[in-house]
Structure 1
């Protein structure tokens, strides 16, 4: 591979530095651009085809058109007994227009954040020249857009990876900052289950790789990310659809109630015209939550994206808020994950040097941090091995055998692995087991470590003590989730004793030891059959079936293509503990929707108490006018103005979400009723009275 010349066109270092400065400048002006884009998009959303998607605001949109018509011709629906009706009707039309526009602006602002992120991602994509390898090894320069699944390409330091793929040969450092935002390079190598997947648009900064393309042009990971964060594939979630239907039914009921009011007004001899009826209708329907409903859902996806997680749909984000069971791997999630060799325990009369020699040979082909730590420990204990790796055969680890090792010339076999697996291996070669092995096994397990047995042919030489550490603060985070009704199950390949020690220290609810990939699926299915929603993380091919089965599957960006495609979320930082944050964000989304729905419905009650006594003063309801509003016109304009301004006032809360607190559903309901229910009743009375005084001060009505 070193003989192949680099021919791909790359920018010189100064040019790349200039690009970085330009990107930094774009980020500074990005917020202004988002607001300007949202203002324009809010007008575009006024089109009937887009407006009809929101039944509440569509009703306000129709009401706006009617009031505009009545402004042009006040006698359109009959004679009007009102001073200066055109001015009043025109102001009502303007307020209703801005009510719809504010709702559109809120949604456009939430979408604008995704579009800005999509623009950043799109800037990392460009058509580049790829070095395509043919079957005979010849290299042909082609456009990256012409590459297809199954093609093989060659990249060297300085090249951009032309498309998504898997490394089939070589080891190299790759700069993935354009995708993950992390400047530290990532090591990519062939044969690794979690470090062989590469993403188109990233740049190789050292050495060289041969890559097999796994996605056609336009269907890569970045392309899917752009489509998702832009919102082109956003579909309403089940809860959002249910609430939309409920709001639509409420609108129909309100429409029926308002339609019957003229008959009541006739009996009490109170003239009531069309603009007043429209004002009553708009005040009655839940415009606040109707205008902010989609904004809350989009903002939830945006908060997930801010954690560097890409969700395939709003359904996945919402489902994370309903999760009852969290399925977590021990290594790297509950523990730090850098499981390293701590000690050797020789048995069966073997010396420390002998077990060190056998452990060294068993790990010589193991390139994992765990395997390298065994080599270092063996050398520290004086391992002296006359061994040529070129004349030996590596035996890779598998979930089935649960061991790895080396086949030596002459048919000798060296293995290291789970104690039960090594016992079975030795028995199959008519070897013997001793009580010493079980004692060493229990000694390591009771310390929370992982014991690996080491053997040469049918003779067991001893146990390697692998040590891992529970992450600081993980127990407190589990306690928070437990208070929200989430059950945590730990999965580990460790034995029962080790798993029990770690489970007690971490504070999980349950654990499954010596777990296989099939066990994950069985656990998920069992939890789902009991009516629970399950979330889990994964990164390898063997995790793909479980990720697909789980309600929330979080795949690591460093994981395989199969894992990413099976999951409904991808973590660009490859941090398994982020699943805990995702569950919290999902619950915050549901809390925000519940809080604003409570506030909106409470507002409606207050607005009707403000309007009804004034409008039907002739029916002896004036005594109920506790706010002492000036007259019908000022009361209507005050209520509609408050109704319109409530939407932009609540946009920051809809985008940011209510403050998240890990409490039970009952306590959460009490909190919403106390803060947003009671607040939603009191605030409108104060605001409407102040607006009424301002309108009265103008002397127009």
Structure 2
């Protein structure tokens, strides 16, 4: 089989920090690259989707026509009893066009960041030759199946086809492993250089087209059609091609459109009102007033805020299938977290050796370490490490025959050359082993039973260590305390969740006693013990019926129903295809604890949108004080009292307001892309903070900005 090797430029460089990427959220290179897109968005067929900016564009067109026609119509007319300079209309037109371009530039920059990531992903879609099996019989012998394969292009593979992939080859399409285990290089997708293990029959059976097998051989059943693979979906998502407006965004657009219509009507009535005072208001000033009245700032940045929210997830290697999912994450009130791998490290670790009365503790430690030298599990390695920390070293290998752990015996151990046997395992299994032929029934010592109960009650797992001498007599030396270790810092993070008003629930298959102990140690609010897929689904439905929005993570086929039911379902990239199809987000790093970060990003999106909306509406107040007095001071001198900024002239006041209205968009673009910093606090405190910072700031900033611009405009002859 021949393959074409793509250039795998990862969307994120391995080792690159998220903070580093965040700092480059608005670079000069990105702005330059986005300029053509900003001009392309001037097409009215695209602009009408943003009603606020469409009105600004219509105003720009009208003022441009007037600026061109004025030399032939005898120059600009006075307005409100005040004369305006000849360059006034042209200046208004120019700044209205800049206002529209700045708005388009904000959206184009946000989209451009996704397009750059999509370009690198496209390089992983190079066509690959695949070996398709005609009749897969599950054989483990490559030679037996080689004669029954046919070479086809990956573009010709269909769902259900079965292919063989060996070391050094690219996986030709998305699928599930039917047979085998292999290490796979997924750096082209995740940006992580370390290979991952994929195997059949578990929750790590899904593979992605374009990734490379580094070792061994696997048989894969294709699950996606060409053009509909996971990479194709990623490209569409990061480009924004599949981004639909969210319910909140649609509602805000309707509000902005309604406000715009109201202010259009208000503006149209000004000239009839002015006519009663034997005055007129020129069309350029009416257009300028309208543009300053309508909420242009949030109208210009609304789309880029939504795109940037999804992009912040992509920066953390999380793909949201829709903007709705990101918003829902911001409104989540219940967080379901799997215990293993999320709250705990997932591998139990030895934390204590407990010797029985009359037993030398060093004998227990040595026996436990010897029986664990050949144990490849994390538990076995932790026993050896704990023994070494206690000063007992047993060498690199154990003399004798290793007895591996099996589900039937529930024990592992070592048979030494001198006839001594060591076993460690469940208490009942070790008791049965000591009992042997059953002629002399073994009675568990009282202190052993007490220790087993104590460890179990604390949420740990007791492993009993026993020995048999050459003559067959057996005795218990003591226990090893295995414990699920709760990840550092989680208690503090759950406290943050609580401050946000989010209830955390640990989901586990453990018994209620163990679940209660770990939940208390981790600091979660509640737990669901001995949970089956049906239990998870029922729990989510109960929460939703109570008015809560629920988020959860999962990686297995048995998690698919709950992932589909949850408002935010985060599937692990290492999980099954069913899980990834059911969820509305995919975590490329397969880190279940990232769900907490997803919630924070969702809240940051909502807060950013709210902050910019508050600022936009508040800064209109200063514009009214600039333009309204300027329009009628010539007819009603008393209105000069409203000119509290002391602006130079009516013409300079109007032009200064329009200039500020345009450039404030540029200053707010980095904030829209980066997002308002989120701090865990109640909704009422967040609202008060927004009103104080962005409400008050939205009032003060325009007064300062318009005054400074007016000072500069006043230097222009005629103004």
Q: 1:449 aligns with which of 460, 467, 477?
A: 460
Give yes or no for the alignment of 1:498 onto 2:507. Answer: no
Aligned to 1:71: 67
Residues 1:247 and 2:226 aligned together: no
Aligned-partner Cα distance in 1 for 2:253–2:401:
72
Deviations 1:87-111 (A, max 9, x none): 2111111111110110011001001
- 1:206 equivalent among 204, 209, 215: 215
For residues 477-522 of structure 1, what are the alpha-carbon distances to aligned partners after superposition, in whole Å with 9 as ceiling and x for unaligned? 1111111111111112222222222212211111122222222111
- Who is 1:667 aligned against? 685
**SS state of the match for residue 187, structure 1?**
strand
Q: 1:543 aligns with which of 535, 559, 566?
A: 559
Instruction: Classify the secondary structure of the residue corresponding to 1:694.
Output: helix
Q: Which of the numbers 1, 9, 30 marks the counterpart of 2:3?
A: 9
RMSD of Structure 2 on Structure 1 (CA): 4.2
Does structure 2 retain, via aligned residues, the 8 Å contact 1:539–1:556?
yes
Following superposition, the deviation at residue 345 of structure 1 comes to 9.1
How many residue pairs were aligned? 655
Residue by residue, what CA displacement relative to the aligned partner does 1:214-262 show, whole Å, maximum 9, x if unpaired? 1121111111111111111100111111111011111111111111111
Take 1:439 and 1:78, find their aligned partners in 2: how far apart are those partners?
104
Residue matched to 2:100 = 100
**CA distance in structure 2 between the aligned counterparts of 1:249 and 1:284, rounded to whole angstroms:** 12
Report if the CA contact (8 A) 1:445-1:495 is conserved: no
Q: 2:193 aligns with which of 174, 183, 187?
A: 183
Please report how far the alpha carbon of residue 59 of structure 1 lies from its aligned counterpart in structure 2 after TM superposition: 0.7
Over residues 633-674 of structure 1, what are the superposed CA-to-partner deviations in whole Å (9 max), with x where a residue is unaligned? 111100000000011110000000111111111111111111
Once residues 571 and 238 of structure 1 are traced to their aligned partners in structure 2, the CA distance between those partners, rounded to angstroms, is 24
CA contact (8 A) 1:71 1:86 kept: no
Secondary structure of residue in 2 paired with 1:326 = strand
Candidates 59, 63, 67, aligned match of 2:55 = 59
Between stretches 519-528 and 303-312, larger displacement belongs to 519-528
Distance in 2, matches of 1:552 and 1:418, equals 42
C-alpha contact 1:450 1:498 (8 A) present in aligned 2:
no
Q: How does 1:303-382 map to 2 (within 5 A)?
A: 303-340=312-349, 369=378
Q: How far 1:263 moved relative to its partner?
A: 1.9
Q: Distance in 2 between matches of 1:59 and 1:432?
A: 89
In the alignment, which residue of structure 1 is the partner of 2:158? 148
With over 3 angstroms needed to count, the CA separation of the structure-2 counterparts of 1:544 and 1:376, relative to structure 1, is: farther
Residue in 2 aligned with 1:123? Answer: 123
Counterpart selection for 2:31 from 35, 56, 61: 35
Q: CA deviation at 1:341?
A: 6.0
Write the mapping of 1:369-448 to structure 2, written as runs, cut at 5 A.
369=378, 439=450, 442-448=453-459
Output the CA distance in 1 between the equivalents of 2:427 and 2:302. 52
1:70 touches 1:76 (CA, 8 Å); kept in 2? no
- Secondary structure of the structure 2 residue equivalent to 1:469: coil
**TM-score if structure 2 supplies the norm length?**
0.82
* Residues 513/163 of structure 1: CA separation in 2 closer, same or farther (3 Å cut): same
Distance in 2 between residues matched to 1:30 and 1:119, nearest whole Å:
19
The secondary structure found in structure 1 opposite 2:151 is strand
Distance in structure 2 (CA, Å) of the matches to 1:433 and 1:236: 69
Gaps of 5+ in 1: 1-6, 397-402, 407-414, 420-430, 455-460
1:268 positional shift: 2.8
Is 2:626 the counterpart of 1:610? yes
- 1:696 is aligned to 714
Q: Counterparts of 2:262 and 2:71 in 1: how far apart (Å)?
A: 28
Change (3 A) 1:50 1:386: closer
Residue 555 of structure 1 aligns to a residue whose secondary structure is strand
- Secondary structure at the residue paired with 1:193? coil
Q: Would you say the 8 A contact 2:4–2:128 is kept in 1?
A: no
Instruction: Supply the distance in 2 between the matched residues of 1:268 and 1:148 (Cα, whole angstroms).
Output: 77
- Tell me, yes or no, if the aligned pair for 2:7 and 2:123 is still in contact at 8 Å: no
- In the other structure, the counterpart of 1:269 is 278
SS in 2 for 1:124: helix
Determine if contact 2:166/2:216 at 8 Å carries over to the other structure.
yes
8 A Cα contact 1:74 1:85, kept in partner: no
Cα deviation per residue 1:363-403 (whole Å; 9 max; x = unaligned)? x9x9975699899999x9999879899xxxx879xxxxxx9
Moved more, 436-445 or 675-684: 436-445
Q: Take 1:192 and 1:341, find their aligned partners in 2: how far apart are those partners?
A: 26
Q: 1:566 to 1:370 in 2, by over 3 A?
A: farther
Distance 1:404 1:66, change over 3 A: farther
Between 132-141 and 95-104, report the one with greater CA deviation: 132-141
Q: Could you list the runs of 5+ residues in structure 2 that have no partner in the other structure?
A: 15-20, 137-144, 388-393, 413-423, 429-440, 466-475
Higher relative contact order (CA 8 A, sep 6+): 2
Distance in 1, matches of 2:25 and 2:293, equals: 40
Are the aligned partners of 2:77 and 2:84 in contact in 1 as well (CA < 8 Å)?
A: no
- Taking a change above 3 Å as real, the CA distance of residues 451 and 542 of structure 1, as seen in their structure-2 partners, is farther
Instruction: Tell me how far apart the structure 1 counterparts of residues 400 and 84 of structure 2 sit (CA, whole Å).
Output: 104
> In 2, distance between residues paired with 1:36 and 1:343?
61
Contact 2:427-2:462 within 8 A present in 1 as well: yes
Q: Secondary structure at the match of 1:206?
A: coil
Q: 1:377 to 1:218 in 2, by over 3 A?
A: farther
Cα distance in 2 for partners of 1:451, 1:548 equals 37
Q: Provide the residue aligned with 1:292 in structure 2.
A: 301
Answer yes or no: is 1:657 the counterpart of 2:675: yes
1:411 aligned partner: none
1:566 maps to 2:576: no
Is 1:110–1:298's contact at 8 Å kept on the other side of the alignment?
yes
Q: In 2 relative to 1, CA 417–550 (structure 1 residues): closer, same or farther, beyond 3 Å?
A: farther
Contact 1:10 1:159 in 2 (8 A): no
2:341 match: secondary structure: helix
TM-score (ref. length: structure 1): 0.84
Residue 595 (str. 1) matches residue 595 (str. 2): no
Report the Cα distance in structure 2 between the residues aligned to 1:247 and 1:500, rounded to whole angstroms: 50
Tell me which of 471, 475, 493 is aligned to 2:491: 475
The question of whether the paired residues in 1 share the 8 Å contact of 2:75 and 2:86 is answered with no
Q: Aligned partners of 1:477 and 1:29: how far apart in 2?
A: 26
What is the match of residue 637 of structure 1? Answer: 655
In the aligned structure 1, how far is the partner of 2:402 from the partner of 2:293?
87
Higher mean C-alpha displacement, 74-83 vs 62-71: 74-83
Correspondent of 1:624 among 642, 653, 659: 642
What SS does structure 2 have at the residue aligned with 1:337?
coil
